[in-house]
Amino acid sequence: MLSNKSLILICLLIVASALSAWSITDTYFGNPFSTFDARSFAMGGAGLYNSKGVFGIADNPANLTLMRKTLGFSVNTYLNRNEDNRSIPLYNSFDNYIDDSVYSSNINTFDNYAVAGFVAHRFNKWGVGLGAYYKPVSSFDADYREEVRNNRNTDNDVYPEKIALNKIESEGSLNKTAFVTSFAYSLSDYVDLNLGFEYALLNGDVNREKTIRWTDWAISQVGEYHLPELTEIDDYELSGDQFKIGASALLGKRVGLAATFTPGTALDRKGTYYYKRDAYLNTAVDSINTDIKEDYKLPTQIRFGFVYTPRNVVRTEFNMDIEYVICSEINKRYDDVMNFYAGVEHQVVNFLPLRLGFQAVNNWYFTTEESTDENNNPITLYHTSKILTPMVTGGSSIQVMDNLKIDLGFGYTWREYEAVDMFGDAYYNDKQYTGSSSYALWPNSHITLKNRGWENPDKIRENNISLNAGLNFTW
């Protein structure tokens, strides 16, 4: 039987696992958006040097005067379809591996929106601009459902009885309202230096609820008030500010360079955490209601990018960005990571570009679990995993008017990794709740319901299909 301390620890780990967007594995950062500029998104997210998209000011504040436009406005939307399949290894009676058995499959769609605008003016060789934008930085939306069933009647091609329904539902996002200023100095028509600054206010509301609910069938087998249900509610706010400095330089007709530096910052995380597990047998109700007040850290990011325009018959542009993220600021068990973004734009016919790209982004997954050492003393085990998430992208644009166009970007992301089971099997052992020596919910008396750790993890296969669309007006 699980101790209260062990059960609470498991539940707190599930809370951490639920703080995510789309994917419920990205425990700390949620799912960050690479860019809201649809053109850059279609080119793998490589848009640090961007002289053509209004939302490029969000990637690099120096892009504001790099565009050499007087006025710009953009409205963007980001749609994402996430598919999450979780499985465990399946073995035959001879202990030979057969295949992976999927026990949970979830498909959900989420949407986010952003807006940006700027004004700028050139004074001969000098230029200055002011801009602002609003966008989500990370999404914490998630919807996970998992059915717990026994194996009765499976030999007769009949669905087994459903014992419980597990849910993790989360909504919210970390949003940024930023103010941008940029300065330019032109040495010639093809040599242009730009320096930009950004000050942003970050805020967000996140609500996460995790539940275990027994089915009517399970209650009818055991009786009312025997099976304890579990509820967790994690409700908090994030607030703080952030600073960014960026530079971009046009060095001739064919080459452009850019760089940004975003120092790490600590946001305030305030809210409440509520936990309740119902009473059962001779065990009293277990309830926690506490305030949350702690720092939520964002790591330092350093990014470099360049653009190259070769001597083609039709216009072609190649973009590439390299990003260095100091994740060790968040947790000493994390290593710093490098992310890669690259894309190309090829003008197939007049006003109809073909854009293709690729990106490779790293995320960290952190868990803890209780164990014992060789002397049977309790210890805490820490486990970190770095997950690589590649994405292939493509897109184009439609020129509606001389100063108005629609940009479209499409992305496909996939990844495969291992993770600890989020709902431990020991919770569904009805013998601990009834005091009986035999199962009432499980037809096989020889099974042992116990929690699986890293010795027998889940295998996760995820994919995302994304659409980034933007309406851009420049003058």
SS3 251: strand
Which residues, in sequence order, are bridge partners of residue 131?
Answer: 118, 180
Instruction: Give the domain CATH number at 406.
Output: 2.40.160.60
Phi and psi of 197, rounded to 5°?
-130, 145
pLDDT over 90 at 263, yes or no: yes
Phi and psi of 41, rounded to 5°?
-60, -45
The half-sphere exposure of 384 on its side-chain side, counting CA atoms within 13 A, is 14
Query: How far is residue 439's CA from residue 258's CA, in Å, rounded to a whole number?
Result: 65
- Quote the pLDDT of residue 20: 33
Mean pLDDT of 127-148: 94
Write the pLDDT tens digit of every residue in 163-201: 999 999 999 999 999 999 999 999 998 999 999 999 999
Comparing C-alpha atoms, which of 448, 428, 442, 451 is closest to residue 212?
428
Q: Are 441 and 221 in contact (CB under 8 A)?
A: yes
Residue that the structure tokens 């999927």 belong to:
102
Cα 139 to Cα 58, 123, 168, 386, 419: the distances in Å are 17, 41, 15, 20, 21
- Quote the pLDDT of residue 154: 64
CA dihedral 471, 249, 201, 74 (to 10 degrees): -10
Q: How confident is the model at residue 7 (pLDDT cuts 50, 70, 90)?
A: very low
Within 10 A of 127 (CB to CB), how many other CB atoms are there? Answer: 20
Q: What angle (nearest 5°) sits at the alpha carbon of residue 323, between those of residues 317 and 325?
A: 165
Q: How confident is the model at residue 434 (pLDDT cuts 50, 70, 90)?
A: very high
- Stronger pLDDT, 19 or 187, i.e. the higher one: 187
Q: How confident is the model at residue 155 (pLDDT cuts 50, 70, 90)?
A: low
Percent of the chain with pLDDT over 90: 71
Cα 70 to Cα 54, 73, 474: the distances in Å are 11, 11, 8
Q: Note down the domain range covering 375.
A: 4-474
DSSP-assigned letters across all residues of 140-196: --EEEEEEEE--TTGGGT-PPPEEEEEEEEEEEEEEEEEEEEEEEEEEETTEEEEEE
DSSP-assigned letters across all residues of 30-57: -EE-S-S-HHHHHTTT--SS-SS-TTHH
Query: How far is residue 38's CA from residue 113's CA, in Å, rounded to a whole number?
Result: 12
Q: Across all residues in the chain, what is the average pLDDT?
A: 89
- Quote the pLDDT of residue 316: 92
Q: Are 471 and 74 in contact (CB under 8 A)?
A: yes
Phi and psi of 234, rounded to 5°?
-120, 110
**For 60-74, 142-156, 192-206, 293-307, which range has the lowest pLDDT when averaged over its residues?**
142-156
pTM over 0.85: yes
- Quote the pLDDT of residue 313: 79
Write the pLDDT tens digit of every residue in 73-122: 999 999 999 999 999 988 887 888 888 889 999 999 999 999 999 999 99
Write the pLDDT tens digit of every residue in 305-355: 999 999 887 889 999 999 999 999 998 889 999 999 999 999 887 778 999
Rg (CA), the chain: 26
Mean pLDDT of 5-24: 37
- Quote the pLDDT of residue 453: 83
Phi and psi of 120, rounded to 5°?
-150, 160
Q: How confident is the model at residue 249 (pLDDT cuts 50, 70, 90)?
A: very high
Cα 115 to Cα 74, 356, 432: the distances in Å are 6, 24, 54
- Quote the pLDDT of residue 201: 98
pLDDT over 60 at 11, yes or no: no
CB burial of residue 468 (10 Å; 0-12, 13-18, 19+): buried
Total domains in the chain come to 1
Mean pLDDT of 144-161: 82
